[in-house]
Structure 1
Amino acid sequence: MKKIIAVAITMVAFTSVSMAQGFEIGVRAGVNLSQVKGDGGGSDGEFWSSDQTRSTGFTGGIYTRFGDKFFLQPEFIISQKGGTTTGIFGEERTFKQTYFDIPVLAGVKIGDVVRIQAGPVATFLINKDDGFFENLGIQDSEDGFRKAILGYQLGVGFDIKKLRLDMRYEGNVNDVFNIDYDNQQTENQFAGKGNLWFVTLGYAF
């Protein structure tokens, strides 16, 4: 974690020199709606059946922006993310966890207000839901949640004086779970990737 943060800070410092024509720093906070989805059927074919159920969480932190019309925007964000699964008897089990996100977005401004942006995000688990796997009957779950996840974000933003309104979608490249099953077929049945929508309001200093 320390090495990754150091690399991110170095990247921000380097970019500030190479794109000195524009610099902005600010804070943003808001709400997200997250879920985990998979193609596998779990134990009874309905494991990921809660299509309309999303977990509500907080998201917020610091962002920086380098450039004017074309820009690079690294961020350091704390986010609550989760999901819902369906058990053998139809009961829903929800989990929510806290992550440290480092998105690095590239974007373009359309006029003076509208922004379009997209880029990768590295996500690190800092507070897991210890009771989730116990409720599923999985005892050996110390490493059940993946500690680092690679993903992507894309969305639109609006700059109104010092206010920064952002609406984005985030998806995962690798699975949220990291369970060592006895065979690959069983592992695929429970594999799931996270996704979320979020809205934040920020302020530029």
Structure 2
Amino acid sequence: MKKIFTAFVFILTCSFTSRVLAQDNAELTIGAKAGINFYSLSSDALVEDDDTGLSYEFGIYGRIGDRFFVQPELNLVSHKTHLITRTQARVGERDALNVHYLRVPVLFGYRTDYNGAVASQIRFMVGPSISYAVGVADNRIDVKRNDLRNAQFALNGGVGFELWVFHLDLMYHHYLSTLFKDGRSEGKGRAFSLTAGLGF
């Protein structure tokens, strides 16, 4: 599955990038952004109860192209959810599971020529990402770094708005890999993020 996913991403990246570079005005924009995300898990046999958690993310990106563009990024992401697991030592106790990731998305997008009074050049973006778990905050539900999958694959999509010199992006992240390594686990992450940034 991972090999097929990787091959698909490679082919898609090459074909879309060649189209972007064929544009007469293919330009490079470098930027940084920061914001918040809301994260939750889908149904999981190992989880008795959970809720949506609020956390943060920030990163840098390079956007190649104008009307059509490719946007690779490097993000530091924290995902938080409050859980009661079926495997924890303290039965019934809820605590926050806060996992830190390095995420590398490659987004393919289209920018409109809309020019409103406040927002302009609306962008539509979609693309894959891989996230690598780099740490887990201390918790009382006995979840450690070794209990989680190293890599999390996801599909991402959203819309962006240019606001004067700033940009505002609303994205949805649909994870394809289970959060826990345990073979009984079925829970996969779902997140919405809202970020603001500057591009030059």
**Common fold: TM-score over 0.5:** yes
Question: Which residue in the other structure is 1:157 paired with?
Answer: 160
- Matching of residues 27-38 of structure 1 within 5 Å: 27-38=32-43
Q: How big is the shift at 1:142?
A: 5.9
1:54 aligns with 2:59: no
Q: Which of structure 1's runs of 4+ aligned residues deviate more than 4 A?
A: 87-90
- Please tell me whether the aligned partners of residues 120 and 151 of structure 1 are also in contact (alpha carbons under 8 angstroms): yes
Match of 1:126 among 128, 131, 134: 134
Question: Which residue in the other structure is 2:75 paired with?
Answer: 77
Question: Which residue in the other structure is 1:6 paired with?
Answer: none
1:23 aligns with 2:28: yes
Question: Which residue in the other structure is 1:102 paired with?
Answer: 104
Residues of 2 paired with 1:107 and 1:29: CA distance? 20
Question: Secondary structure, in 3 states, of the residue corresponding to 2:142?
Answer: helix
Residues 141-177 of structure 1: CA deviation (Å, up to 9, x unaligned): 6621111111111000002332110001101111111
Residues 30-51 of structure 1: CA deviation (Å, up to 9, x unaligned): 01111122253x3xxxx3543x
Residues of 2 paired with 1:18 and 1:25: CA distance? 16
Residues of 2 paired with 1:29 and 1:142: CA distance? 25
Give the length in aligned residue pairs.
174
TM-score between both structures, scaled by the size of structure 2: 0.76
Match of 2:95 among 93, 96, 99: 93
- Please tell me whether the aligned partners of residues 36 and 82 of structure 1 are also in contact (alpha carbons under 8 angstroms): no
- Please tell me whether the aligned partners of residues 96 and 139 of structure 2 are also in contact (alpha carbons under 8 angstroms): no
Question: Which residue in the other structure is 2:199 paired with?
Answer: 204
Compared CA separation, residues 70 and 123, structure 1 to 2 (3 A):
same
Over the matched positions of the two proteins, sequence identity in percent amounts to 27
Q: CA RMSD in A?
A: 2.7
Greater shift after overlay, 91-100 or 112-121?
91-100
Question: Secondary structure, in 3 states, of the residue corresponding to 1:143?
Answer: helix
Question: Secondary structure, in 3 states, of the residue corresponding to 1:174?
Answer: strand
TM-score between both structures, scaled by the size of structure 1: 0.74
- Please tell me whether the aligned partners of residues 34 and 81 of structure 1 are also in contact (alpha carbons under 8 angstroms): yes
Residues of 2 paired with 1:127 and 1:142: CA distance? 6
Structure 1, unmatched stretches of 5+, are 1-10, 136-140, 180-186
- Higher fraction of strand: 2
